[in-house]
Amino acid sequence: MRYKIFDIPKGYVPSVFEIIFLIIILMYFSVVSLCHFEEVVEIPSVPKKLVLESAFIYRDISRVSKTTSNLYLRVGPGDEAYDHVIEASTREVQHLGFSKSRKLWVAVEPDRSKRFVWGVYDNDLRLLISRQDILQWAQYSNSANYFVIVTWGFLSLYLLFVLLKHGVWNGFLAKRIAREDRAD
């Protein structure tokens, strides 16, 4: 008989510890998949008109992985300023030579309702990061986040199935069989 990794013997009733352990793992999978919803970047439709706003790098570039880095920008003047993070290719960000507290210009929508940066320019208004690059990086990041959400969601559903089938249903059947045996 072949051994299967996820094979649970028919009629197996897990102990209380196993059920608690599976519930903890289920909660962990659910929380991780929900946390990745916050990482998804909302990409608005391309606006008809853009304006340039002053911005500066308020934090050193952080390396997220071997291929991606985060560029931290504070966009806007004074009290109206907001923070924006661009997840970009590490190689390209290092090539551009961004340093801390560097003054930049960014292309944003005039009404400022959608906080999305469409382009990054230096102080001489030379294009550093184009709209296509920003969209490509955001779409890549979103696809990776959606993959994690779906994968961890399926793992959560599988654990829920295991808990219901083997923890609840088999436990109910075992109690019923034990009651019938006592009645005989």
pLDDT at 132: 87
pLDDT < 70 stretches in the chain: 1-9, 11, 98-101, 184
- Determine if the pTM surpasses 0.85: no
- Do the beta carbons of residue 71 and residue 98 sit within 8 Å? yes
Beta-bridge mates of residue 57: 73
pLDDT at 76: 82
pLDDT tens column, 146-170: 998 998 888 888 888 888 877 777 7
Task: Name the residue ranges covered by the structural domains of the chain.
Answer: 16-39+144-175, 51-141
